[in-house]
Amino acid sequence: MKIKEDLEKKTDQQLVELAKKDPEMFGALMDRYQKPLFFYIKRISQLSNDDVEDLLQDIFVKIYLNINGYNCQMKFSSWAYRISHNHVVDNFRKIAARPKIALNEDDSWLKIIRSDVDLEKDLANKQDMGAIRDIIEKMPLKYREVLILRFIEDKDYEEIMDILQKPKGTVATLIARGKKMIQKEAKKKGFEIF
């Protein structure tokens, strides 16, 4: 119990160094990233929980096999998310399908548009919320993914740049254009959100 508490207090970089020396320590990194990566994969793939678990297992194997090549100049979380992103994209290429980002029935999708406005005051009923969710789900992947990384996954611009391997200006542009798309489509449906 004490060992687990000690491991939870360590930084990602400290855990990586421990995992390089002792493979048993990799479990602490898995414990830390199991849930966040699961939900990230679920959102960008719209696969069943079992399929997401399978992908996640493959991703942890990739992370483990490449841990010695991890560049400590980059946040470990960005590196892990980048491996996850690449693996999901590769998986969809193999099955010749395009990934879809699933937004749960909960209000996590509201974070995307709440960054500018408190929608609870403006959205009077669940029909409007459902319409917003539909708008986001139908957006092109490049906009959905960047909005989810920024507002649902709470990644900063540097992390998004590392994960998507795009320059900061491109990330900012994708976010701004994505939000404009949401606004435009919402207006077509008869309500304003920004």
Q: What is the pLDDT of residues 154-164, one digit of tens each?
A: 899 999 999 99
Assigned domain for 99 exists = no
Assigned domain for 141 exists = yes
Looking at 65, 94, 123, which one is the last position of a domain?
94
Assigned domain for 6 exists = yes
**Number of domains observed in the structure of the chain:** 2
pLDDT of residue 121: 47
Do residue 6 and residue 74 come from a single domain?
yes
Residue 179: closest CA among 144, 155, 137: 144
Assigned domain for 90 exists = yes
Assigned domain for 38 exists = yes
pLDDT of residue 104: 56
Which residues of the chain are modeled with pLDDT < 70?
Answer: 1-2, 4, 95-128, 192-194
Do residue 77 and residue 135 come from a single domain?
no
Per-residue pLDDT tens digits for 71-80: 888 899 999 9
Consecutive H or E run containing 137: helix 126-138
pLDDT of residue 67: 92
pLDDT of residue 122: 47
Query: In whole angstroms, how far apart are CA 2 and each of 6, 14, 58?
Result: 6, 17, 30
95 phi and psi angles, rounded to 5 deg = -100, 10
pTM value is 0.67
Range of the domain at 66: 2-94
Do residue 147 and residue 65 come from a single domain?
no
Do residue 172 and residue 116 come from a single domain?
yes
Assigned domain for 194 exists = no
